[in-house]
Amino acid sequence: MSRCVVVGSGAREHALAWALAKSCEVVVSPGNAGMAAHGFTCVDTPATELDADLFVIGPEQPLVEGLADALRAQGKRVFGPGRDASQLEGSKAFMKDFLASAGVPTARYATFSDPDSALSFLDSMSAPYVVKTDGLASGKGVLVTHDLAQARDDVLEKLSGRAFGGAGTTVVIEEGLAGHECSLIVLCDGTDVVALAPAQDFKRVGDADQGANTGGMGAYAPMTSMTPDQVDNVMREIVLPTVAELRRRGIDFRGVLYAGLMLGPYGAKLLEYNVRFGDPETQVLAPLYGDALFDLLKRTSDGRLGGSLAVPSGAAVTVVLAASGYPRRPRVGDVISGLGDDGQLAEEIEGVIVFHAGTQRSAGGVFTTFGGRVLAVTGTGASLEEARRRAYQGAALVTFDGMVMRTDIALGAH
Ligand code: AMP
Ligand code: GLY
């Protein structure tokens, strides 16, 4: 049987491991308490010291730090781009300049390190105001607001380095776009591209999109309101020009190009690229592609992705259970009840899978919270309604003090 190493420790990696395990033996580095309880081999050994037929790198940080390059230099088969292409996610300023060279439609923007010029540019924009930290900030470095005074304060706070340290001493200020968001996760083998089913992520912490931006509070797929024609247009106008620009720069991109899109009367514009699977989108896509995932990722890594991909049947919805205080100051150490010995639900519900992110387990077997996003409860079903019902039935069995959960994930979607 083939062996696969998944690098990372979040619910996204739990979902990848869960799907890959249908076709191969999976080792997770480092993994987390929930994955271990669920039967996965979790090791502290760095990936560069492990052997496997395929290495799948989950999070952006090791990609930006060059883990894929280091593994490829050892002759290993790797799913994930190198350090150079990871700048597409690692620096919003780099990404915006790249999009301009590639001719990809995106919001108008400018980049600043100096407060005076940043503030005068901001004053010349109209609401909503969008202020972004240049570097990695786990989805929390973006402010979108109608309040100019708040946007001005945010620019000053970010440029001071207080909010995100070195990652935040450059800001991107951009035109606010209205519309619907879509996450289009595209596999790219250096030349060929294949889109997975469009997914929708819910970024704000509160119901009805109120409150702070987070890493993502829930997701569903397929997002059927994004039509196959719209997907084709995005591939033609956004993804293929990106791949052409990567190749022009001599970059062989093998991994995920995750297009964060805004769909509006202007068509589709790219908000951002990520260079890895989405979190929590993977918690709905991995169950939909299940058995096919290992072969797809292996072919992508080998540069022989080819062909198109059948639309998966059914639907999936995931609901994130976050810690008290998330996203600003998540509290750790709250006891989680409702989970069985294997980290799944104490009471089994058909079509429900619990993916662990920030959990820890005591010697006595008690799970406690250990991060901002704690669990992602995914429901699958023949229809979106069924998947949604199951996800919330599952989530209702889990409790911990101060738990933060949206009640409107996939509500009204069809
Ligand atoms: P990003 O990390 O750049 O994708 O931004 C995080 C979130 O902020 C996005 O998912 C959107 O909800 C919102 N956002 C980012 N850029 C814009 C924009 N130009 N106009 C409106 N909303 C935006
Ligand atoms: N769901 C947003 C992200 O993965 O960045």
pLDDT digits (tens, 9 = 90+) for 203-230: 999 999 999 889 999 999 999 999 999 9
Across the beta sheet with 171-175, the strand order is 109-112, 171-175, 129-133, 142-145
Give distance in angstroms: CA of 260 to centre of ligand 1: 8
Q: Starting from the CA of residue 178, give the closest ligand.
A: 1
Residue 260 CB less than 6 A away from ligand 1: yes
pLDDT reading at 16 higher than 80: yes
Q: Distance between alpha carbon 122 and the CA centroid of its chain, in Å?
A: 29
Beta bridge partners of 189: 254
* Whole-number Å distance between alpha carbons of 350 and 338: 16
pLDDT digits (tens, 9 = 90+) for 108-138: 989 999 999 999 999 999 999 999 887 776 6
Cβ(13)–Cβ(61) below 8 Å: no
Residue 136 CB less than 6 A away from ligand 1: no
Tell me what percent of the residues of the chain surpass a pLDDT of 90.
86
pLDDT digits (tens, 9 = 90+) for 43-56: 999 999 999 999 99
Give distance in angstroms: CA of 177 to centre of ligand 2: 18
Residue 387 CB less than 6 A away from ligand 1: no
pLDDT band at 166 (very low <50, low <70, confident <90, very high): low
Give distance in angstroms: CA of 404 to centre of ligand 1: 22
Give the containing element (helix H, strand E) for 186: strand 180-189
Provide mean pLDDT across the span 285-311: 93
Q: Report all structural domains of the chain as residue ranges with CATH numbers, in order of start.
A: 3-82 (3.40.50.20), 109-175 (3.30.1490.20), 180-302 (3.30.470.20), 315-395 (3.90.600.10)
Residue 278 CB less than 6 A away from ligand 2: yes
pLDDT reading at 60 higher than 90: yes
Give distance in angstroms: CA of 218 to centre of ligand 2: 10
Cβ(101)–Cβ(80) below 8 Å: no
Provide mean pLDDT across the span 305-323: 92
Residue 176 CB less than 6 A away from ligand 1: yes
pTM: 0.94
Provide mean pLDDT across the span 19-48: 97
pLDDT reading at 59 higher than 80: yes
Provide mean pLDDT across the span 54-70: 98
Atom 5 of ligand 1, residue of closest alpha carbon: 142
Residue 139 CB less than 6 A away from ligand 2: yes
Q: Starting from the CA of residue 125, give the closest ligand.
A: 1
Q: Starting from the CA of residue 271, give the closest ligand.
A: 1
- DSSP per-residue letters across 98-130: HHHHHT--B--EEEESSHHHHHHHHHHS-SSEE
Please choose, from the candidates 290, 350, 283, the residue with its C-alpha nearest in 3D space to the C-alpha of residue 321. Answer: 283
* pLDDT value at residue 311: 83
Residue 272 CB less than 6 A away from ligand 1: yes
According to DSSP, the β-strands at 41-42 and 25-30 are parallel
According to DSSP, the β-strands at 359-361 and 254-264 are unpaired
Residue 334 CB less than 6 A away from ligand 2: no
* pLDDT value at residue 140: 65
In the DSSP assignment, the letter for residue 334 is P
- Look at 58-72, 154-168, 329-343 and tell me which has the smallest mean pLDDT: 154-168
At position 24, the amino acid (one-letter code) is: C
Backbone angles phi, psi at 256, to 5 degrees: -100, 130
Residue 179 CB less than 6 A away from ligand 1: no
How would you classify residue 249: left for phi > 0, otherwise alpha for psi between -120 and 50, otherwise beta? alpha
Give distance in angstroms: CA of 289 to centre of ligand 1: 27
pLDDT digits (tens, 9 = 90+) for 362-386: 989 999 999 999 999 999 999 999 9
Give distance in angstroms: CA of 55 to centre of ligand 2: 21
